[in-house]
């Protein structure tokens, strides 16, 4: 089969994958030719960060345990000052997207290399995309200096991730794959990776929810998340991510749960514009319809399926619809204000999408 012309520009970076790979952290620090690592994490994961600090011994410059959702500018500034004060020459980010995001905020200003150790399926560790929230608005950008130089994927670190957070984090990763499949700059390689990412996560997540310490299922999901982050890094995002960034920045909603609720409805919005892609998504989900299959997976996993349960109010929907139309991301279907408002209404109510014609 002949493919149309395309450009594929894979990003540099080293991936160390597998159960027990955390044991290689001191070797990986040396390979980066650095010697004073600042370990960053959320307050909830300070015990894990302390374990990393102990492993690093004299290679650790300190621990900053204040990472927060959506990377508030105040936290980013404090972390940058702390890194400078401790004389850190690299950042070890242990945790999910919030922690990786903080590491990126430090690297953006300081050019310190990042070694990321993901404990969720966020995928941010594979991308040069960063986001910082100031005055209720999340501003995102792209800069190669924030791309982690090394990523250690140890599935054993994800076994303590609660079932619901595992599920929503995994659907967040699926969202990266979905939009990569209909991105304007998609190519055959990224599409293969995206489809396999959806398949791995859709198969692994129900098993993780049923048995959180199933290492084989955890490995499958982390592999899918790696693929998702990889395609997110080299393709563009569309309406789904715009809506989630808007909801998160404007209403301070939890990131993964917001993706989980919005994704089936964003898929339904685009379904008739990219029918071939929808068939690939449905096939990877093991469903007859892409949007319904995505909604049913979330329902099966027992995670939120409505914006109402996340605390969104009806009065918020018009503001979000208007904001989503400002500085829009490329999208397969033209952005229509009334249709987007309808999408948000369905997401607010948690309605099961109708099947594509």
259: closest CA among 201, 338, 191? Answer: 201
Is residue 130 included in any domain, yes or no?
Answer: yes
Residue 145 to residue 159: CA distance in whole angstroms: 31
Would 87 be classed as within a structural domain?
A: yes
SS (H, E, C) the chain: CCCCCCCCCCCCCEEEECCCHHHHHHHHHHHCCCCCEEEECCHHHHHHHHHHHHHHHHHEEEEECCCCCCCEHHHHHHHHHHHHHHCCCEEEEEECHHHHHHHHHHHHHHCCCEEEEECCCCCHHHCCEEEEEECCEEEEEECHHHCCCEEEECHHHHCCCCHHHHHHHHHHHHHHHHHHHCCCCCCHHHHHHHHHHHHHHHHHHHHHHHCCCCHHHHHHHHHHHHHHHHHHHHCCCCHHHHHHHHHHHHHCCCHHHHHHHHHHHHHHHHHHHCHHHHHHHHHHHCCCCHHHHHHHHHHHHCCCCCCHHHCCCHHHHHHHHHHHHCCCCCCCCCCCHHHHHHHHHHHHHCCCCCCCC
| 121 and 192 housed in the same domain | no
Same domain for 315 and 227, yes or no, is yes
Same domain for 294 and 195:
yes
Structurally, how many domains does the chain consist of? 2
Q: pLDDT band at 3, cuts 50/70/90?
A: low
Mean pLDDT of 343-355: 97
Per-residue model confidence as pLDDT tens digits over 26-65: 999 999 999 999 999 999 999 999 999 999 999 999 999 9
Residue 171 and residue 86 share a domain: no
Strands 150-153 and 114-118: parallel
Considering the domain boundaries, does residue 354 fall inside one? no
What is the percent of the chain where pLDDT is above 90? 87
pLDDT at 300: 97
CATH of the domain at 244: 1.20.1090.10
Of 7-11, 12-16, 50-54, 86-90, the range with the lowest mean pLDDT is: 7-11
Domain boundary among 111, 136, 158: 158
Same structural domain, 193 and 54: no
Last residue in a domain, options 112, 136, 158: 158
Q: Are both 253 and 341 inside the same structural domain?
A: yes
Looking at residue 141, which CATH number applies to its domain?
3.40.50.1970
Residue 321's domain comprises 163-349
Domain boundary among 134, 158, 182: 158
Q: What is the pLDDT of residues 87-108, one digit of tens each?
A: 999 999 999 989 999 999 999 9
What is the structure's pLDDT at 78? Answer: 97
Is residue 355 included in any domain, yes or no? no
Provide the pLDDT confidence category of residue 139 given band limits of 50, 70 and 90: confident
Same-domain check for residues 245 and 303: yes
Between CA 343 and CA 178, with CA 303 as vertex, the angle to 5 degrees is: 55
> In this model, does residue 322 exceed pLDDT 90?
yes
Q: Is residue 243 included in any domain, yes or no?
A: yes
Greatest alpha-carbon span in the chain: 62
Q: Provide the Cα torsion 193, 199, 205, 211; round to 10°.
A: -110
**pTM to 2 decimal places:** 0.91
User: Same structural domain for residues 173 and 306?
Assistant: yes
Q: Are residues 188 and 131 in the same domain?
A: no
**Mean pLDDT of the residues in the chain:** 95
At residue 257, does pLDDT exceed 90? yes
Query: Do 91 and 230 belong to one domain?
Result: no
pLDDT at position 56: 97
Is the residue at 5 inside a domain? no
Identify whether residues 230 and 308 lie together within a single domain: yes
Q: Is 57 left (phi over 0), alpha (psi -120 to 50) or beta?
A: left
pLDDT above 70 for 2: no
Same domain, 328 and 184: yes
pLDDT at 1 over 50: no
Residue 161, token pair as written in the block: 């991730």
In a domain, 44, yes or no: yes
Residue 270: inside a domain, yes or no?
yes
């Amino acid at each position: 089969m002949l493919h149309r012309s395309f450009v594929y520009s894979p990003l540099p970076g080293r991936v160390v994958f597998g159960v027990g790979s955390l044991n290689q952290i001191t070797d990986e620090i040396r390979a980066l030719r650095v010697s004073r690592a600042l370990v960053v994490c959320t307050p909830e994961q300070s015990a894990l960060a302390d374990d990393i600090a102990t492993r690093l011994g004299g290679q650790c410059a300190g621990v900053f345990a204040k990472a927060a959702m959506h990377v508030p500018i105040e936290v980013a500034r404090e972390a940058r000052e702390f890194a400078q004060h401790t004389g850190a020459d690299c950042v070890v980010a242990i945790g999910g997207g919030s922690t990786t995001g903080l590491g990126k905020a430090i690297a953006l200003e300081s050019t310190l290399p990042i070694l990321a150790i993901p404990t969720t399926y966020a995928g941010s560790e594979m991308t040069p995309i960063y986001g910082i929230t100031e005055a209720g608005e999340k501003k995102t950008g792209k800069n190669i200096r924030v791309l982690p130089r090394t990523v250690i994927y140890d599935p054993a670190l994800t076994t303590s991730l609660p079932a619901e957070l595992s599920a929503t984090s995994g659907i967040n990763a699926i969202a990266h794959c979905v939009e990569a499949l209909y991105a304007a700059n998609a190519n055959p390689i990224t599409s293969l990776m995206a489809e396999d990412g959806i398949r791995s996560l859709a198969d692994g997540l129900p098993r993780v929810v049923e048995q959180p310490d199933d290492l084989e299922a955890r490995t499958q999901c982390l592999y899918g998340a790696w693929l998702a982050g990889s395609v997110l890094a080299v393709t563009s995002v569309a309406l789904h991510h715009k809506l989630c960034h808007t909801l998160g920045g404007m209403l301070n909603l939890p990131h993964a749960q917001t993706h989980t609720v919005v994704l089936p409805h964003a898929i339904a919005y685009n379904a008739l514009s990219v029918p071939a892609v929808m068939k690939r998504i449905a096939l990877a989900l093991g469903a007859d319809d892409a949007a319904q299959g995505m909604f049913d997976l979330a329902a099966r996993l027992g995670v939120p399926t409505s914006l109402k349960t996340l605390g969104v109010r009806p009065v918020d929907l018009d503001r979000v619809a208007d904001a989503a139309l400002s500085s829009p991301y490329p999208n397969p279907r033209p952005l229509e204000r009334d249709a987007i408002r309808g999408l948000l209404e369905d997401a607010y109510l948690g309605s099961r999408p109708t099947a594509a014609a």
